Amino acid sequence: MNHSFNLNVASLLLCLVAMSGGKSVASEPRIPRVISCSEGSVIINQVSPAETYELTTAAAFTLTVNGTTENAIGIENGNSTKVTSQTYYVFGGTGGLTFARNKGSSGQAICTNSKYGETTPGFEARF
């Protein structure tokens, strides 16, 4: 996925929310506020109300890792939510929750809690 496209969509979404008076027309995406483990942590902050079009809900976020904050876009479709910034992403679905670093087409997991695999030591998600 093209990361600059994601960030442009996040900026566009923020502008649309500002023009609409910031009114939420959908439920907020299901994603924790903080994910942490022995490998690192991320603070996830939703900065716009969620908007829904057909079965997809989207909102603008920021991801803060080691004191650095990046704009991100969050998309919820069905049972999964993915919040993506230039450097990191958070993915939550029926199989678990992952905080990872973007690395080409495949990410490098930092913290993960999976029903089908291993959980990173010290994993915690706070809503």
pLDDT of residue 7: 46
Neighbouring C-beta atoms of residue 76, cutoff 10 Å: 23
pLDDT of residue 104: 67
pLDDT of residue 29: 84
pTM: 0.77
Neighbouring C-beta atoms of residue 48, cutoff 10 Å: 21
The torsion angles phi and psi of 82, rounded to 5 degrees, stand at -130, 125
pLDDT of residue 117: 87
Residue 84: which domain range? 3-126
pLDDT of residue 21: 42
Report the domain count for the chain: 1
Spans in the chain with pLDDT lower than 50: 1-7, 9-26
Q: What is the C-alpha to C-alpha distance for residues 8 and 97, in angstroms, rounded to an integer?
A: 25
18 secondary structure, DSSP code? H
* Residues 77, 84 contacting (CB under 8 angstroms): no
